[in-house]
Structures are given as structure tokens and as C-alpha cells.
Amino acid sequence: YSWKTDTAKHTYEFKELTIAAGKDAIPTLDFPRFILKNDPSYNFYAHEPAIVVSFGGEARAYPLSILTLFELSNDTVGGKNIMVSYCPMCNSALVFNRDITTPMGEKTLRFGVSGLLIHNDMVMYDKETETWWGQLTGEGIAGEHSGVALKMMRALLISVEDFFDRYPNGKILAPLNLNSMTKKDGH
């Protein structure tokens, strides 16, 4: 697998990394689609866990049953560029702001799954510089943005039923047969 990561810059020893899969072997949801609860394709269990994000009047649920297959979703909610992450290996669900400040100004990153693990946790990478990022810390661990910390965003891990009780007009990630990893027609 070819990497463009500047490995001269790093905050961890490389011996702490494990190769679990190839780069992008696990696809991400880059253009996720969402549905309302009354959509005919709705088929989620009431007690199914979901990562819930609510910003700017928008509320969205990302069921773990889908995120287990993709691990990351690059999305925009309420005007905020976010990345929803779930590591099935360590059962950690975190949401980060994809916008960072660099010496060149503000930059929005898109994330992918590197296939690497650090202490049995997923290592993400940004597609712009291929910096490697720890999922539990949101910190750049190797590459151009090594030492930079992504801003963690407020999120809940609650049941789908609780999501719709709190946010009756909220939207949930569409079932896989309606979702596309490459479709660019928006939400």
C-alpha cells in the first residue's frame, strides 16, 4: 500500500502500530443518505444503539449496525463538517469536527480508514495529507498534522427509540440498500 504520509513527523513509536487491513479496505460513508422514521424503508430495531449528532436544528442518528461495516462517515450537520467514527474492536464511538486551523488557514479534511491499529484502536487518515489520526484521541500521530488534535463534538450513544423520542423530526442513516458510498447527490 502506498502512503504519502510524512513519517518523519510522529508522536508515537511505530512499533505501537499494528497492521490489521489494507488502506481503505474498509470503505467510508462519504455521502450518507438519511430517512425519516415514517419512510417505508425504515427497518431499525427500537433498542438498536446509534450515535446521535444534533447541531444547528438538525438531528441525525448513525446506527452502529451500519457503522460497524464502514467505521467512518464524513458528513455535514447543521453547517458543521463532522466525522462520525466507530471502532468495533474497542467499541468506541466519537464525533469530531473535520475543520482544522493550519498555518495556511482553515482546512476541511476528509477521513478514511487506514487499516492500522494503535493499542487495538482504529487509526484514521485524512485524504488530503494522509496524516494518521488516533480514533480515541483525535490526535494526529504521524504525518503533516502530527500533534494536531481534532475538536471533539458533542454526541450521544442512545437507542433509535430514544433518538426519535428526543428528536421526532430527526433523520436516521438510510438502510444500506438506499445508501451509497460514492453517490454525490447529497442527503
Given a cut of 60, whether residue 186 has pLDDT beyond it is no
Question: Given a cut of 70, is residue 76 above it in pLDDT?
Answer: yes
Q: 103: Cβ–Cβ under 8 A, 6 or more apart, which residues?
A: none
What is the widest separation between alpha-carbon atoms in the chain?
52
Here the cell at position 78 is 447543521
Look over the chain and give the mean of its residue pLDDT values, rounded to a whole number: 91
The confidence score (pLDDT) of residue 2 equals: 84
Give me the pLDDT at residue 185, please: 42
State how far the Cα of 38 lies from the Cα of 23, in Å rounded to an integer. Answer: 37
Residue 13's pLDDT band (cuts 50, 70, 90): confident
CA–CA gap between residue 179 and residue 70 (Å, rounded): 12
Of residues 178 and 61, more confidently modeled: 61
Q: Is 22 exposed, middle or buried (0-12, 13-18, 19+ CB in 10 A)?
A: exposed
pTM for this model (two decimals): 0.89
Radius of gyration, alpha carbons of the chain? 16
Residue count of the chain, please give it. Answer: 187
Decide if pLDDT at 187 tops 90. no
DSSP H helices, 40-105, are: 64-70
pLDDT tens digits for range 121-139: 999 999 999 999 999 999 9
Task: Specify the higher pLDDT residue, 11 or 180.
Answer: 11
**Residues 108/98, Cβ–Cβ less than 8 Å:** yes
